[in-house]
A = this chain, B = another copy of it.
Amino acid sequence: MSKKWVYLYEDVDEAEKLVGGNWDNVKALLGGKGANLAEMWRIGVPVPPGFTVTTEACNAYLAAGEKFPEGMWEQELAAMKALEEKTGKKFGDPKNPLLVSCRSGAKFSMPGMMDTVLNIGMNDETAAGMVELTGDERFVYDAYRRLIQMFGSVVLGIPDEPFEEALDELKRKRGVKSDTELTAADWKELTETFKQIVKREIRRDFPQDPYEQLRLATEAVFKSWNGKRAVDYRNATGIPHNLGTAVNIVTMVFGNMGWDSGTGVAFTRNPATGEKKLYGDYLLNAQGEDVVAGIRNTKPIAELEKEMPETYRQFLDICTKLERHYKDMQDVEFTIERGKLWMLQTRDGKRTAKAAVKIAVDMANEGLITKEQAVMRVKPSDVDTLMHPQFDPEVKKQAVLEGRLLAKGVNASPGAAVGMVAFDADLAEQWGKAGKPVIMVRPFTKPDDVHGMIAARGILTSEGGATSHAAVVARQFGKPCVVGASDLTIDLERRQMSVNGLIVKEGEYISIDGATGEAFLGEIPTITPRFEEQTELLTLLSWADEFRKLQVWANADYPKDALRARAYGAQGIGLCRTEHMFFEPERLPIVQRMILAKTEEERQKALDELLPFQRSDFEGIFKAMDGLPVIIRLIDPPLHEFMPSERQLLEEIIEMRVKGITEGLAEKEALLAAIESMHESNPMMGLRGIRLSIVMPGIVKMQVRAIFEAACNMAKQGVVVKPEVMIPLAGHVNELKVIQPQLEAVAQEVMREKGITVEYKFGTMIEVPRAAVTADEIASVAQFFSFGTNDLTQMTFGYSRDDAEARFLLQYVEMGILPKNPFQTIDRAGVGELMKMAVQKGRATRPDLEVGICGEHGGDPESIEFCHLINQNYVSCSPFRVPVARLAAAHAAIKHKQ
């Protein structure tokens, strides 16, 4: 007996048993859509009879060089028989023809990425029979011509254009504007024209045999798994390429059989805000594509209650049932055929970040899910989105007064975005990759446009609703999006759009507010959302805090950043970069004097001038972090970074020389010589960090004095200070053995002077591979480690980050040589291996060694998971990412429980 390739709904128990009772595996086998159709059937939701050809069949088909696996077609035919029995109709029978749809359905939803053919089973004979049966010739030939067009496009590879042109031509001939004005005869004529197009394009007749239609459509869905759009989408979303798609064959139901019919899509809660209220659109007397494509203007789902109160109530009940069953907000499709409600699909609904948080918290409060589940429901990137800037409402008001409000559309995906208008996806991608801010503007978007949407800061369309392609994709990628801004007239040929006589050309700046649906001319400044007002988010994060093991600290150089970090929940400062303070205008000249000093006295004098500045910075930070640890990193960059540009100076000097100008030349030449003498061929690996401290200890001694003077001063005021002094770039324990005692001596000296003692630590960054390899030795001196994963990644890979990203790194990621950019997500196999080694070796020497991370990775969820796995004490990231990190740390702890 051959393998089971085809599952009727009633076979779902068998499928479930086969895969070990795991619903995820059922979805892998039957696809999400197929599994959910069967599941709906199982829990008593009305679904049109149908069956599913498995993803395994798809994979077998593709692996065999596009041949159905043994027995599959026979099983599909048998399933058709079962449908005939259930519906009382017969496939290809002119008297009472069974029509079916053929849709793809993979394990993970890939909206619009793969193909669908409707109305399979129609041919000249069945069409005629259906006219007799329904008495509605117009409906029948509309359906028939749809089959020919879809089949032509999806199965036979004929482009849409000739079909669209023929329809337009006919409308022109009849002098009408909309499809609905065409008569039954017109549709019948168009059907003939479509058949001729097929014949002309592929030199074959449109297949009249329903079974041939079914077979070819099944194959087309299988093949669509490897279509370019699908592959691109999977690459963009990280869906594996080896899953395959299932094929769902479902009895057709029609929403366009008159005004007692209709079709719609809905979310069981608002996918933009999370509000617990049905949200969606429908159209009466229409096919499903009309709603989804966003071409016809749909009605909000609430209106259905007035138009069809009974059906609406039934629909509401089903939605509640589905949500309770799946324990998540559902995205459903339905059709009403002559008053009878059919559910065509249900799946977990995509949602905005805001909605994700609200729904998770609400559902936990409703008792539908646990706190732990609620925490896992929200992605760290959702929290990130909620931390994003939004437009300053005052400036926005002003812009409205100035007449800069271009249009108002549907608020499809929240967030504020400012960028240059690009009218196609390729240009948007090109500009986006070049680092330009782009708003992609289109009448509507199609799956082909996704690459441009990913590259854009935001998306604006003149057509479509909240469930249009543009809206769905934008929400998924967290891009601000406004759709259906119908006042806009977009002229793709002239690369411009107009509204009320105002013309916006490609490349001009606009601003869109995805939360309100507004689009503005020009750039509107953004402000930071008020974290403390996001009640549900605060609740969710407090739950996350209950689960996580990692502490979350923040990188902050200034008291104001420290305060913000603390407000966001930071439990310490993991990195305070002292050299940033050197760059401030009033200080830089002193720093330069210190660097250029010819005598030790001169240098000390400059350092003495710098000390009060540093001390007061530190005082502010200690105060802000009262009671919490503050890691202060001593000077790290090479000194030439504080000097004027060598190139500019050189140009000035050459010019002066050529022109014979002598005044001031000698001075400039001396300065140039000094800067040149600091030149290094690879400054990242030159005289900086601890090396600089050893060669020129004056600077760090001043810094340590400033730190401890500040700490003692604050301690005297009753602030609980916990300074931790971090010496960067150590690669050999002897470096620490040389400098650390000198610095501790300064600390002791200051505390004696001040007559007060504070708790402190001295530690180092692990950012040189050698430090990781010899961490056991390093830990004999250092009291804490902090991974500087930016440099550690640079040196472990041998990549200079700037050079690499400009020249080959992004190409490496695109080519799949590197799965991710290792500067964004820790490379576990390489850099991570060294980190693991460092933690193990370090703790072998010093069991209570405090280990953290202060590189950019400290705010990246996947990297945070890794930090959890290697038993770090904390991660430290930018203040804005603290909430993200809190959630990510909770995810890691829950995921790797026990």
Listed in ascending order, the chain A residues whose CB lies under 8 Å from chain B are 647, 650-651, 654-655, 658-659, 680-687, 691, 694-695, 729, 731-732, 734-735, 737-738, 767-770, 773-774, 777, 791, 794-800, 802-804, 807-808, 811-812, 815-818, 827, 829-831, 833-834
Q: What is the bound-complex CA distance between A687 and B805, given in angstroms?
A: 10
Knowing A773-B829, A829-B773, A831-B770, the reply to whether A731 touches B797 (Cβ < 8 A) is yes
Q: How far is the CB of A816 from chain B (nearest CB, A)?
A: 7
Q: Do A686 and B769 form a contact, CB below 8 Å, given A816-B734, A817-B734, A829-B774?
A: no
- Residues of B contacting A680 with CB < 8 Å? 800, 803, 807
B798 and A731 within 8 A (CB)? yes
Contact call B695/A807, Cβ cutoff below 8 A:
yes
Which 3 pairs between the two chains have the least Cβ-Cβ distance?
A682-B800, A686-B803, A770-B830
What are the residues of chain B within 8 A of A829 when measuring CB–CB?
A: 773-774, 777
Contact B818 A732 (CB under 8 A): yes
Which of B734, B773, B811 lies in contact with A833, CB distance below 8 A? B773
B683 contacts A803, C-beta separation under 8 Å: yes
* Cα-based distance from A230 to B804 in the complex (angstroms): 51
Q: List 16 A-B contacts (CB under 8 A).
A: A654-B658, A682-B682, A687-B804, A687-B808, A691-B804, A694-B811, A731-B796, A732-B797, A732-B830, A734-B818, A738-B815, A769-B769, A769-B796, A770-B827, A773-B833, A795-B798
Contact B803 A681 (CB under 8 A): yes
Contacts A695-B808, A695-B811, A773-B833: A798 and B685 contacting too (C-beta < 8 A)? yes
Q: Which residue on B lies nearest to A735, using beta carbons?
A: B817
CB distance from A219 to the nearest CB of B (A): 32
Interchain CA distance A773-B800 in the complex, whole Å: 19
Chain B residues lying within 8 Å of A795, measured Cβ to Cβ, are 685, 769, 795-796, 798
What distance in Å separates the Cβ of A772 from its nearest Cβ neighbour in chain B? 9
Q: Which residues of B contact A682 (CB under 8 A)?
A: 682-685, 800, 803
User: Chain A interface mostly helix, strand, loop or mixed?
Assistant: helix
With the chains together, A817 CA to B800 CA distance in Å? 27
B770 to A817, Cβ gap below 8 A? no
Contact between B817 and A694 (Cβ–Cβ < 8 Å)? yes
Contact between chains at B729 and A834 (CB < 8 Å)? no
Name A830's closest neighbour in chain B (CB-CB).
Answer: B770
* Shortest beta-carbon distance from A751 to chain B in Å: 28
Residues of B within 8 A of A687 (CB): 803-804, 807-808
What residues of B have a CB within 8 angstroms of the CB of A654 in the complex? 651, 654-655, 658
Q: Which residues of B contact A803 (CB under 8 A)?
A: 680-683, 685-687
The contact of A685 among B647, B650, B800, B811, by CB within 8 Å, is: B800
Task: Determine whether the beta carbon of A808 is less than 8 Å from that of B769.
Answer: no
- Rounded to whole angstroms, the CA-CA distance of A809 and B761 in the bound complex is 28
Q: Which residue of B lies closest to A815 (CB)?
A: B738
Known: A685-B685, A770-B831. 14 other contacts (CB 8 A): A650-B650, A654-B654, A680-B807, A682-B685, A685-B795, A686-B800, A694-B815, A695-B811, A731-B796, A734-B816, A769-B830, A774-B830, A774-B833, A795-B796
The chain B residue with its CB closest to the CB of A655 is B658
Docked complex Cα distance between A811 and B692 (Å): 12
Q: State the CA gap A627–B684 with chains docked (Å).
A: 44
Minimum CB–CB distance from A295 to chain B (whole Å) comes to: 44
Task: Check B681–A802 contact: CB distance below 8 A.
Answer: yes
Cβ–Cβ contact A807 & B686, under 8 A: yes
Q: How far is the CB of A739 from chain B (nearest CB, A)?
A: 10
Q: How far is the CA of A777 from the CA of B800 in the complex (A)?
A: 23
CB-defined contacts of A815 to chain B, threshold 8 Å: 694, 738
Which of B659, B686, B774, B818 is A804 in contact with, Cβ under 8 Å? B686
B686 touches A684 (CB 8 A): no
A654 to B658, CA, bound (A): 9
CB neighbours of A800 from chain B (8 A): 680-686
- Report the bound CA distance from A799 to B795 in whole Å: 10
Shortest Cβ gap from A781 to chain B (Å): 12
A681 to B695 CA separation, bound complex (whole angstroms):
23
Q: Which residues of B contact A737 (CB under 8 A)?
A: 817
User: A658 CA to B651 CA in the complex, in Å?
Assistant: 10
Residues of B within 8 A of A738 (CB): 815, 817
Inside 8 A of A830's CB, which chain B residues have their CB?
Answer: 731-732, 769-770, 773-774
B798 in contact with A791 (CB, 8 Å): yes
Roughly how many angstroms separate A834 CA and B830 CA in the complex, as a whole number?
12
CA distance A682 to B812 in the complex (A): 19
Centre residue among A682, A687, A808 by max chain B CB count within 10 A:
A682
Q: Which of the residues B729, B770, B797, B816 comes within 8 Å of A770, measured between beta carbons?
A: B797
| A773 lies within 8 A of B796 (CB) | yes
Instruction: Collect the chain B residues with CB atoms within 8 Å of residue A767's CB.
Output: 798
